[in-house]
Amino acid sequence: MKRNYDRIAGLAAKATGDRATRMRLLVDTLWDELSTAGVSWVGFYLDQPGAPDDQRMILGPSRNTPACSPIGLFGVCGQSLTSRSVRIVRDVAELGDNYIACDPRDRSEIVLPLFEESIEKNPHAPCWGVLDVDSWEVGAFDEQDAEGLSRALTAAGFHTTAPACA
């Protein structure tokens, strides 16, 4: 499905304020622009270092329905956080026990990790959370979505990895 990431990045560039404010503004922008383009949910999960692995990630700003929180490191969000890489899942049903089903209608997912600073400048920059986007459609996301979401995150002042997808 065609998504206008140029428009989204332009809107995201207007996000100002602290991290929490920019996360909320970006979630609202992504939801407003993508909810009619096959996206069923968008939100941030934030790492809680020191918490037990099954409670490491808590829900940050999100739209549109409630989501699971806390979640562990074994789901797609946890895999993205620990591998420090973009994760694209064509069909979540194929993940079996490695999938955390907050909404049983979700069929595909894309997750991008977020870093304290540019990993081009500091390859060991701490990963503080992820952006998670879900869809009720199988195969809803691809590398173009990874690139577009990465541009939107960067425009909003966040650091993510180059969209080499796993």
pLDDT for residue 165 is more than 60: no
Judged by DSSP in three states, 54 sits in helix
Domain borders along the chain are: 24-160
pLDDT for residue 89 is more than 80: yes
Class assignment of domain 24-160?
alpha beta
Measured between alpha carbons, how far is 111 from 60 in angstroms, rounded to an integer? 14
Please state the three-class secondary structure of the chain as a single string.
CCCCHHHHHHHHCCCCCCHHHHHHHHHHHHHHHHCCCCCCEEEEEEECCCCCHHHCEEEEEEECCCCCCCECCCCHHHHHHHHCCEEEECCHHHHHHHCCCCCCCCCEEEEEEEECCCCCCCCCCCEEEEEEEEECCCCCCCHHHHHHHHHHHHHCCCEECCCCEC
Tokens of 16: 């100002």
Strands (E), 34-126: 41-47, 57-63, 87-89, 108-115
**Any idea which residue has 């541009």 for tokens?**
151
Tokens of 76: 């797609």
Phi, psi of 38 (to 5 degrees): 90, 5
Percent of the chain with pLDDT over 70: 93
pLDDT digits (tens, 9 = 90+) for 93-143: 887 776 677 777 788 999 999 999 988 888 899 999 999 999 999 999 999
Ramachandran category for residue 17: left, alpha or beta (phi over 0 → left; psi -120 to 50 → alpha): left
pLDDT for residue 115: 96
pLDDT for residue 93: 81
